[in-house]
Amino acid sequence: MTEIQERLDELKELGLYRRMRLVSGPQGPRVVLDGKPVLLLCSNNYLGLADHPRVREAAADAAMRWGVGAGASRLVSGTMTVHRRLEESLAMFKGTESALLFGSGYLANTGVVSALGGAGTTIFSDELNHASLIDGCRLARGETFVYGHCDLDHLEWGLQQAVRDGDGRRGRCRPPLIVTDSVFSMDGDIAPLEGIVELAEHYGARVVVDEAHGTGCMGPDGRGAIAEAGLEGQIDVVVGTLGKALGSYGAFAACDAQMAAYLTNTARSLIFSTAPPPPAVAGAMAALDLLFEQPRRVERLQSNAAVLRDALAQEGFDVEGSTTQIVPLVVGDASTAMRVCEAALDRGVFAQAIRPPTVPEGTSRLRLAVMASHTKDELREAARVLGKAAMAAGWRPSVGRPVASGQTLATEDAAGSSAHQAADAPPPPRAGGVFDQQAESIARAA
């Protein structure tokens, strides 16, 4: 037996083994999964645009006009008129001077953060940021301080230490960099963006916000959490994706013209990647047009999310932490989460189990994702199915613990400490950490 097989066997024993499931046909509220019809409750196709006729037609027309692939990186010969048109539309949508297309959200975040977080920069990262922001911090040559989830006091304490040690306004030429998701992908909660901006202004920091799960899902005309908070024009770089609410593939960084020029020359994930394929770009442009024309899709998404949360609460699930289209059902144990997932699947609802290292140890969950194209009856029935699936799997949602063992969920503090190892910050307000140490601990858990 090789060490590879030993590691695979270990993952199975820990309840952390993963496999790909096969979807037949387009992404919609109902799909055929591994040959079985199911209600899809874990797709990021939030507005239901991935299979919209206008989006599909735009992608097909683009393939005939520009071809399937871009053929080269953006700085060689890969930038085509279709790319520039979408960038102009995205800049207008986000209220910025410029927008810069990337191949994916992962590439955008790693490229932007590593470009802005050079030597001499202290990067401040929320402990529950997406892996792409985490890896951007690891690729950057600056030091990373991990602050408690949405903890403005902890963030300010870290900024004070950075200023005291000579960063930011009092010394080095590179200002601190704060990076955060706007909507956190596994918990469905929203970052305290107004407070982050206030701290950034006070301490002379730049701010990068990943709006992957906010764009198209909230705010005026679906412009995102930043617009909802009234902070347009106050964020240095807004990262967004084309692969979720906009139903296509790729990502963008919205910013001023000077920042776009800087990222064009320094973001390695842009410089050394083939440009996004024209059909995906054209499909995203058609989806953006639909969002402009039909903003009520966003209202429908939010209404559907409220219906699902209410129905889940009636089944005894704790859904108080989420206010968005992402609704986590935190189970705790990874194997139990998988049993609930399989029990729901047997009953016709696909709600994927999310386990470490995607989420902290002891917080495995079913991550539910609502779409505007779900019907309210479908969502109410899904809640009933999930309640039955939980009991069948031996987990009582009303008390948040397995039925047989009575094992309680990990506390928030324990989950946070497993995700972010403490460094040398004293008690006020919570222990901080150098990010590389935290990331290595997660890698070992994987």
Query: What are the pLDDT digits (tens) for 265-293?
Result: 999 999 999 999 999 999 999 999 999 99
Say what the pLDDT of residue 309 is: 96
Written as one letter, the residue type at 138 is R
Kindly tell me if the per-residue pLDDT of 436 is higher than 90.
no
Tokens for 344, please give them.
Answer: 């729901």
pLDDT band at 15 (very low <50, low <70, confident <90, very high): confident
* Mean pLDDT on 347-352: 96
Taking all residues of the chain, what is their mean pLDDT, rounded to a whole number? Answer: 89
H or E, element range at 138: helix 131-139
Residue range 337-362: average pLDDT? 95
pLDDT above 60 (res 346): yes
Domain ranges of the chain: 20-50+295-410, 54-292+419-436
Which SS3 state, helix, strand or coil, does residue 287 take? helix
Omega before 397 cis (within 30°)? no
Query: pLDDT at position 247, please?
Result: 97
Provide the 3-class DSSP secondary structure of residue 43. coil
Per-residue pLDDT tens digits for 76-112: 999 999 999 999 999 999 999 999 999 999 999 999 9
Question: Model's pTM, two decimal places?
Answer: 0.88
Judged by phi (left if over 0) then psi (alpha if -120 to 50, else beta), residue 412 lies in alpha
Give dist(CA 113, CA 35) in Å, integer: 41
HSE at residue 282, side-chain half, CA atoms within 13 A, is 23
Query: What one-character DSSP code corresponds to residue 349?
Result: E
Cα separation, 390 vs 386, in Å, equals 6
Mean pLDDT confidence for 68-72:
96
Distance CA 105, CA 208 (A): 13
For residue 178, is pLDDT > 70?
yes
SS3 401: strand
Annotated active-site positions, please?
A: 185, 213, 244
Q: Does the pLDDT at position 438 exceed 80?
A: no
Token pair 């892996």: residue: 131
At 389, list the tokens: 């699936």
Rounded to an integer, the average pLDDT of 153-169 is 82
Looking at domain 54-292+419-436, which CATH architecture does it have?
A: 3-Layer(aba) Sandwich (3.40)
| 440 pLDDT tier (thresholds 50, 70, 90) | very low
Percent of the chain predicted with pLDDT > 70 = 87
Please name the residues in contact with 421: beta carbons below 8 A apart, sequence gap of 6 or more: 433, 437, 438, 441
**In the CATH hierarchy, which top-level class contains the domain 20-50+295-410?**
alpha beta
DSSP 8-state assignment for residue 148: P
